């Protein structure tokens, strides 16, 4: 099953948008206050495609991209789409361990990188033998990198690329898993085209009159589908320099924004109230995992319809509370299925459960990811025929509204970031003074959840010989900043299952307050 009328590929989508919308503003970049029309996106995409292909990038090549929210990032993504190459987005907060793993796991052969991130890249470059070419963007580039922007500027506005079908791989998008390091989700052109169509054709009916504010970094999947949606509908997209809770409403006012995905909305709600909070042109915002008891207060303060939704990298957008369903505000529901998404809620034996009964959510529909790159076992476990196992527990009420009831996944969701507990445990356990680590989420009003690490020192070691500050410092050297635990608690042992797995549910059940008895790295004090 596929959606009729989609463009042939992302490159065709760019061409069609240029023909339809021409000189209309498509993208505004807060990074440098520049803008691109739909025609300019088409022409510059072709220039970057010529620059990349002229330097040897070809169809099916895997190209890692480590850039901030500058104009070159979306242009490089679309240029790779024209070539038929595959983008591997790199989180700009990656440290050497993350970077080395993702580059090698993805079989990256070329890198496009901002000058600011070259030092961390150069520390691992010698451990990444697959890299043949490095393209640099920014100031102070040396002879080891090719100046991509300069080459593109001198390249032709016309590009004759290879034939590319919807099932051509477009991204290897890394997302935190439950069994260690991140897994690369294989996303095709159809994935992005479907997501753009589905989101634009929901009850929110985004049109060319809308101004959509995108607040995340472009290496995440949200700004990418939002750009595809912009090219589909002719709306204007504002790309923030970086995520900022305090900067959200000023951008809404500055650009007369009409709609947005309010990432980490609890942080936005936590900012000081201002007289003009409710004076704007916003007609709706999408929110995820927002406390239901504060939902109505959020809408009242900001004078906007805030609608919960649910999705994940593997499936894109899945459910949403329709705009007209104001009566669901504060219910905790994440809504009903979006078009072309079929859902089941099943028990441990794979049988559908009755309304009101919790079970695992399964999803089916066109444009889902094609599996985890080089992880055949994980892919096989994730799919049952065409049905994808989300690993999240859901309840559906008799009226068809869905509610998140929990999760089977061992994850922390911190300020919009998915953090694998297993990955943090693996890194901290590599410290020579630590024997065992168990990581759990701790509820937090600002970030949603914080990372807590229970640690068992090795024999002969103790809190006196390995301080919490040393553990935090070790984590900062090997993990992205957002993955580093905020809370540390020392233990002599863990409750274990017969097959020697930590019974985390017993750990967290020992105290009503998980912060009590922990070292707080943010406040630098024991709680």
What structural domains and CATH numbers belong to the chain? 10-18+35-187 (3.40.50.12780), 284-407 (2.30.38.10), 411-526 (3.30.300.30)
- Decide: helix, strand or coil at residue 252: helix
> Per the structure block, which two tokens stand in for 291?
């406390």
Q: If you compute the radius of gyration of the chain from its CA atoms, what whole number of angstroms results? A: 23
Calculate mean pLDDT across residues 454-478: 94
The model's pTM is 0.83
CA distance 513 to 499: 28
Note the pLDDT of residue 178. 47
Calculate mean pLDDT across residues 179-192: 88
> Per the structure block, which two tokens stand in for 125?
């470059």
Q: Which single residue is written with the structure tokens 């994440």?
A: 334
pLDDT tens column, 283-332: 999 998 888 888 999 999 999 999 999 999 999 999 999 999 999 999 99
Residue 298: its H or E element: helix 292-302
Cα 422 to chain centroid, rounded: 19
CA distance 178 to 181: 8
pLDDT tens column, 117-176: 999 999 999 999 999 999 999 998 988 999 999 999 999 999 988 889 999 999 999 986
217: which residues sit within 8 A by CB, 6+ positions away?
Answer: 68, 69, 91, 92, 223, 242, 243
Of 421, 408, 395, the C-alpha closest to 485 is 421
Cα dihedral 69, 74, 76, 78, rounded to 10, equals 170
CA distance 418 to 451: 11
Output phi, psi for 394, to 5 deg: -130, 160
Note the pLDDT of residue 176. 66
**High-pLDDT (> 70) share of the chain, %:** 97
Residues 392/360, Cβ–Cβ less than 8 Å: yes
């Amino acid at each position: 099953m596929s959606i009729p009328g989609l463009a042939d590929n992302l490159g065709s989508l760019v061409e069609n948008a240029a023909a339809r919308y021409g000189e209309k503003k498509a993208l505004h970049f807060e990074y440098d206050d520049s803008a691109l029309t739909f025609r300019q996106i088409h022409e510059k995409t072709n220039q970057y495609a010529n620059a990349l292909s002229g330097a040897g990038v070809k169809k099916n090549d895997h190209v890692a991209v480590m850039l901030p929210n500058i104009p070159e990032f979306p242009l490089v993504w679309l240029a790779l789409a024209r070539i038929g190459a595959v983008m591997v987005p790199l989180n700009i907060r990656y440290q050497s361990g993350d970077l080395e793993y993702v580059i090698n796991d993805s079989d990256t052969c070329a890198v496009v990188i901002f000058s600011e991130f070259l030092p961390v890249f150069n520390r691992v470059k010698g451990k990444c033998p697959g890299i043949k070419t490095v393209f640099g963007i920014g100031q102070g580039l040396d002879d080891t990198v090719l100046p991509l922007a300069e080459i593109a500027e001198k390249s032709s506005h016309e590009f004759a690329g290879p034939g590319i079908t919807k099932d051509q791989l477009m991204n290897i998008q890394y997302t935190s898993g439950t069994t260690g390091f991140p897994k690369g989700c294989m996303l095709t052109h159809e994935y992005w085209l479907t997501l753009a169509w589905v989101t634009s054709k929901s009850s929110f009916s985004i049109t060319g009159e809308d101004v959509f504010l995108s607040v995340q970094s472009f290496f995440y999947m949200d700004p990418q589908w939002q750009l595809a949606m912009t090219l589909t509908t002719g709306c204007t997209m504002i790309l923030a320099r970086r995520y900022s809770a305090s900067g959200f409403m000023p951008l809404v006012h500055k650009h007369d924004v009409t709609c947005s995905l309010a990432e980490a909305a609890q942080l936005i709600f936590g900012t000081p109230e201002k007289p003009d909070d409710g004076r704007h042109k916003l007609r709706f915002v999408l929110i995820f995992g927002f406390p239901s008891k504060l939902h109505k207060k959020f809408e009242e303060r900001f004078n906007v319809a805030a609608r919960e939704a649910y999705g994940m990298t593997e499936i894109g957008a899945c459910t949403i509370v329709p705009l007209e369903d104001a009566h669901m505000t504060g219910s905790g529901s994440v809504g009903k299925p979006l078009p072309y998404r079929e859902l089941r809620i099943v028990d441990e034996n794979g049988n559908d459960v009755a309304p009101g009964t919790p079970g695992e959510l399964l999803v089916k529909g066109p444009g889902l990811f094609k599996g985890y790159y080089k992880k055949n076992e994980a892919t096989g476990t994730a799919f049952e025929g065409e049905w994808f196992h989300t690993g999240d527990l859901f309840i559906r009420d008799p009226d068809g509204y869905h509610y998140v009831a929990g999760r089977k996944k061992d994850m922390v969701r911190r300020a919009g970031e998915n953090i694998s507990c297993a990955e943090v445990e693996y890194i901290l356990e590599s410290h020579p003074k630590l024997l065992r680590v168990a990581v759990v989420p701790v509820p937090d009003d600002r970030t949603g959840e914080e990372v807590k690490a229970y640690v068992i020192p090795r024999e002969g070691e103790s809190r006196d010989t390995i301080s919490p500050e040393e553990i935090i410092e070790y984590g900062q050297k090997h993990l992205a900043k957002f993955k580093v635990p905020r809370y540390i608690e020392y233990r002599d042992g863990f409750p274990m299952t017969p097959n020697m797995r930590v019974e985390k549910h017993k750990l967290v059940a020992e105290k009503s307050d998980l912060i009590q008895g922990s070292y707080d790295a943010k406040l630098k004090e024991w709680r």
